[in-house]
Amino acid sequence: MKYTIRQITEGEDEIIIQYRRMTPDIERILNVINGTNKKLSGWKEKTLTLIDPNTILYIESVDGKVFAYTKEDVLRLDSSLNQLEQLLTDINFFRCSKSMIVNINKVESLKSLPSNRIDASMCNGEHIIISRTYASDFRKRLKRGADNEEN
């Protein structure tokens, strides 16, 4: 992907995106530009509800269905776990197992477990296990975030 950055001294800031076809990379860029205005839609009982991704603790796939868990609710989402992972990775969501994505901002504490796994204690008291397959990338992601906060 080619891009051009040019600083201007006058006028309004402007971002122009040109693409031949919509790709996951382009969608991620658009999501970053749109910021926190992004809402997901999910089903609570038989009612379609809009949800702010920042309120989600984690998203889990169970028996082929995807659910978003908040402190108060559980909503069924129509998107796949892979689609949601790509959509939400820029706002601090992380794939922590084959069937789950966790909101890093909702993790209160971490504890190392045998077999290179991590026990993540969530802000609501639940515990999420980060599998050994994803634990190394999770540690790197946390380190990168801590390094960015220092600068």
pLDDT at 144 > cutoff 80? no
Predicted confidence at residue 12, as pLDDT, reads 86
What's the predicted TM-score (pTM) here? 0.71
pLDDT at 63 > cutoff 80? yes
Across the chain, mean pLDDT equals 87
User: What mean pLDDT comes out for the span 73-82?
Assistant: 93
CB atoms within 10 A of CB 83: 14
What the chain holds in terms of domains, given with CATH numbers, is 24-150 (2.40.50.1020)
Q: Distances in Å between the alpha carbon of 115 and those of 49, 56, 132, 140?
A: 39, 28, 7, 18
